[in-house]
C-alpha cells in the first residue's frame, strides 16, 4: 500500500504545471505578464521560445557591459563563448529578458555550467 501511495504522489507531482518562463538564473523582478503592464515597463509583448507563447521582453540599457556577476547587470551576466565551468570568467550583461536559448552564466567571477531553456 505504501508503494502505491508513493507512486500516486510521483504521478501527481509529474503532472504539475511548469512555471512560466522567467529570466533564467536571475533573482531580479520578472517582466510583466500582460501587454499593458509590459508597455509600462518599456518592454515588447512578443512570442518567445519554441512554443511562441507571448511574453514581455525588456531590453536592458546595460547590455554588453563587462561583468563578473549578475548583480552588476539589469539582467544576467553571461559568457560570450563556451568556457570551462567553475573556472574564473568574465562575461557581459544580457541584452534582453528573453529566457530562451542556451546560456552560460557568470556568477561570483566563475563560469557556471551551460543551461538551455525553451
Cell of 54: 507571448
pLDDT digits (tens, 9 = 90+) for 37-58: 999 989 999 999 999 999 999 9
Handedness of CA 79, 29, 24, 37 (dihedral sign): negative
pLDDT digits (tens, 9 = 90+) for 67-116: 999 999 999 999 999 999 999 999 999 999 999 999 999 999 999 999 99
Q: How many CB atoms lie within 10 A of CB 49?
A: 14
Q: Please state the pTM of the whole predicted model.
A: 0.70
Q: What are the two backbone dihedrals, phi and then psi, of residue 31, each rounded to the nearest 5 degrees?
A: -55, 160
Q: Indicate whether 3 pLDDT > 60.
A: no
Q: What mean pLDDT, rounded, does the chain reach?
A: 81
Q: Rg (Cα) of the chain, in Å, rounded?
A: 17
Half-sphere exposure of 24 (CA within 13 A, CB side): 19
Q: How far apart are CA 91 and CA 55, in angstroms?
A: 26
Decide which of 9 and 104 is more confident: 104
55 sits in which H/E element: strand 53-57
Amino acid at each position: 500500500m505504501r508503494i502505491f501511495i508513493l507512486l500516486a504522489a510521483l504521478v501527481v507531482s509529474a503532472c504539475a504545471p511548469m512555471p512560466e518562463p522567467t529570466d533564467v538564473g536571475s533573482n531580479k523582478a520578472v517582466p510583466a505578464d500582460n501587454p499593458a503592464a509590459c508597455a509600462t515597463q518599456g518592454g515588447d509583448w512578443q512570442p518567445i521560445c519554441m512554443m511562441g507563447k507571448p511574453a514581455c521582453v525588456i531590453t536592458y540599457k546595460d547590455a554588453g557591459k563587462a561583468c563578473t556577476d549578475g548583480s552588476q547587470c539589469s539582467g544576467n551576466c553571461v559568457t560570450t563563448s563556451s568556457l570551462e565551468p567553475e573556472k574564473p570568467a568574465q562575461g557581459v550583461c544580457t541584452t534582453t529578458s528573453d529566457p530562451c536559448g542556451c546560456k552560460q552564466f557568470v556568477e561570483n567571477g566563475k563560469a557556471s555550467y551551460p543551461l538551455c531553456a525553451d
